[in-house]
Amino acid sequence: MPELAQGRLKVGAPVAIIDIGSNSVRLVAYEGQTRSPTPIFNEKVLCGLGRNVLTTGKLASEAMEKALSALARFRVLCQVMKIEEVRVLATAAARDAANGAEFLARCEQVTGQPVELISGKREAKLSALGVASGIWKPDGVVGDLGGGSLELIEVKGQKLGSGVTLPLGGLALQDRSGGSVKKAVKLVRDAFEGLPQIEAAKGRAFYAVGGTWRALARLHMKQRGYPLHVMHNYVIPARDAVDFARLVERVEAETLDSIESISAARRPLLAYGALVLEQIIRMAKPSEVVVSAMGVREGLLFEQLDDAQRAEDPLLAMARELNVLRSRSPRHGEELCAWTDRFMASTSLDETAEDKRLRHAACLLADIGWRAHPDYRGEQSLNIIAHAGFAGVDHPGRAYLALAVAYRHLGLSDDQVSPRLRELASPRMIDRARILGAAMRVAYLVSAGMPGVLPRTPLHCAHGQLQVDVPRDLAALANDRLFNRLKALARIIGRTPKFQVGQ
């Protein structure tokens, strides 16, 4: 039996990051150091290290012991996974506590690794790099809310502004306010007054990082019956976010709809996370709140990439990986990108740069469901794509990718394609997904999913006709079944179908 599972990529040795935060201690192991790293193991323990640090000045003994126990387990897990490169980070609680240095020395003994105590400004930078790694061309302000602190930093693409750290984490606010949400609101307002990072968010996106804000977003998702359960790049309009935050602030956490999806240890912090978010929106006036599942850990990995790797498109990088792992022929997926390039260029359809990158991603993902039973390939492909751990794509983009590949397998009728998923995409995107799905139906019938055929059988429009050129040695491919698929595509773009054989 092969040592390396065939479902794993050859991307070098796995790496792991242990994050000793104010509320949780977490281990995330990644398949390798890549542009779009895939976690192979993820575990957290809510230890509450930051609880009462601002009033007592120290980390509590019980919290430290719980954290050290988790770290001992994480060390063994890394040994089991044969991970040699392990980075250990510590943040606000260890920075602020008088016994922080003593605790970190014990952490180093338990983990067998040096612990990097990162400053608030470095934490802000890494959070912003994490957002830049996972959201395509971000433009706004990143806020990373932990148990002990809130980091704010401006981001535009991969260019970062100056960061600031504030003692406004959930545990810190709970501690400083004496458990009074009303007092906590004043603390937050005073801290935000005149802050450049707050001013920089006006009319732009606010990128929310951190477990408490993800928990709030999960509740929001469930409240509105959202069709996807993917947290990354979930968007909440600013006005809607304020209304929901106020709801969370004023009611008991246990009465919130779907509260059982949130761990009991995190529930007391929801009101504090909500009030911080509300004040950011009221004072900064961002256009929307965008949830990022990527933060400090992913930022640390992104920081270690060279310039060429950072410049890669994370969506296309992961689509290529899935193409390699799951398609009959990865090269065919690449050829499909070029084949549809020529087709789109020959039509009168407008296509933006964003449209093109999504189309290429869909082409790379078109054959990932081929091992399923024919009756379920469309459904399986749709579910894999809609819920995959993609970076660099928003939820409407996910819907487009999933729908295009579903149309390829299921046909061009909407009867069998998820109506809930279609809610996420605009009519224009659905139309483009149907056109691409129809083109794929032609491509896979003419090529059998094998490389070398599509470059010889181009699809293009000319003189009001939609034409497939078939060389003489492949003339037998031009049968009625292929013509019917060509006709279906021609119908939806307003052309007459035609085979050109033998040239």
Which residue type sits at 174? Q
Contact at 8 Å (CB) between 127 and 303? no
What pLDDT, on the 0 to 100 scale, is given for residue 503?
A: 61
Q: Within 10 Å of residue 187's Cβ, how many Cβ atoms? A: 20
Going residue by residue through the chain (503 aa), what tens digit of pLDDT does each one get? Answer: 455 667 788 888 999 999 999 989 999 999 999 999 999 999 999 999 988 888 899 999 999 999 999 999 999 999 999 999 999 999 988 998 999 999 999 999 999 999 999 999 999 999 999 999 999 999 999 999 998 899 999 999 999 999 999 999 998 899 999 988 889 999 999 999 999 999 999 999 999 999 999 999 999 998 888 999 899 999 999 999 999 999 888 877 676 766 676 777 677 888 999 999 999 999 999 999 999 999 999 999 999 999 999 999 999 999 999 999 999 999 999 999 999 999 999 998 999 999 999 999 999 999 999 999 999 999 999 999 999 999 999 999 999 999 999 999 999 988 878 888 999 999 999 999 999 999 999 999 999 999 999 999 999 999 999 999 999 999 999 999 999 999 999 999 999 999 988 86
pLDDT of residue 1: 46
pLDDT tens sequence across 291-325: 999 999 999 999 999 999 999 999 999 999 999 99
Instruction: Note the pTM of the prediction, 2 decimals.
Output: 0.93
Q: How many CB atoms lie within 10 A of CB 252?
A: 9
Token pair 């995190």 is found at 266
Residue that has been written with the tokens 């281990």 in this structure:
27
State both tokens at 357.
Answer: 């990158």
- 181-192 helix and 270-284 helix, angle to the nearest 10 degrees: 40
Residue 66: what residue type? K
What pLDDT was estimated at residue 293?
95
Closest CA to 40 of 1, 2, 82: 82
Give burial (CB, 10 Å; 0-12/13-18/19+) of 76: exposed
How crowded is residue 61: how many other Cβ atoms within 10 Å of its Cβ? 10
Q: Residue 247: what pLDDT?
A: 87
Parallel, antiparallel or unpaired: strands 234-237 and 288-291? antiparallel
The amino acid occupying position 455 is P
Q: How far apart are CA 178 and CA 461, in angstroms?
A: 70
**Residue 128: what are its φ and ψ, rounded to 5°?**
-65, -40
Residues in Cβ contact with 150 at an 8 Å cutoff, skipping those fewer than 6 apart: 143, 144, 165, 166, 167, 168, 169, 276
Question: What pLDDT does residue 315 have?
Answer: 97
Contact 214, 145 (CB under 8 A): no
In 105-255, beta strands by DSSP E = 115-117, 139-145, 150-156, 159-166, 205-209, 234-237
pLDDT at 4: 60
CB atoms within 10 A of CB 67: 26
Question: At 166, which amino acid appears?
Answer: L
The two structure tokens encoding residue 194: 């005149």
